[in-house]
Amino acid sequence: MKILLVIVLVVFAAAGAHAFDLGGFFRGCGKPADLALREAPPAAAPAPAASSFPANIKPEDAASFIGSERPVVIDIRTAEEHAAGYIAATSLTMDYYAPDFRDKLSRLDKNAKYLIYCRSGKRSGAALLIMKELGFAEAHDVAGGINAWIAAGLPVVK
């Protein structure tokens, strides 16, 4: 009886540690237990293009992006924040806190290129997620928002 108990404990301990492939034994499929002969796991699905939705881009890179790609630049700060100073290439203002913010975003051309910014990057990061959900092809935000833009010595309109 003690020997049977010890055998049961060893088998269950080994199975718990994944030392043995007991799945084939219980299903009767007889797959080899040798790790070298096991099937490879299925390949992971390819990740979406990282260039279309990076978390954010540095202010200097954002300035280059504006110059070379001519994106639609959107200030998502409040009207008061916008009045205090904004990036010259800004073509749209949309208050992130407005109740219709998501609706306004949804009406934009999903295939255009966008660069969005706020004060510090928090709102624009959240807005990027919304844009991704809505199916936008390419959108970026300024890392650190307009505060980082100014700290980098880049111009603003007042």
pLDDT of the residue at 5 = 52
Q: Is the dihedral of CA 50, 138, 104, 89 positive or negative?
A: positive
Summary mean pLDDT of the chain? 80
Q: Name the residue ranges covered by the structural domains of the chain.
A: 2-37, 59-151
Name the active-site residue from 73, 105, 118, 127: 118
- Evaluate whether 91 touches 112 at the Cβ level (below 8 Å): no
Residue 138 has pLDDT above 60, yes or no: yes
Q: pLDDT tens digits, residue range 76-106? A: 999 999 999 999 999 999 999 999 999 999 9
- Res. 144 pLDDT band, cuts 50 70 90: very high
Q: pLDDT tens digits, residue range 25-53? A: 444 444 444 444 444 444 433 333 444 56
Name the CATH code of domain 59-151 (choices 3.30.1360.40, 3.40.50.2000, 3.40.250.10, 3.40.50.10420): 3.40.250.10
In the residue annotation, 29 being an active-site residue is answered as: no
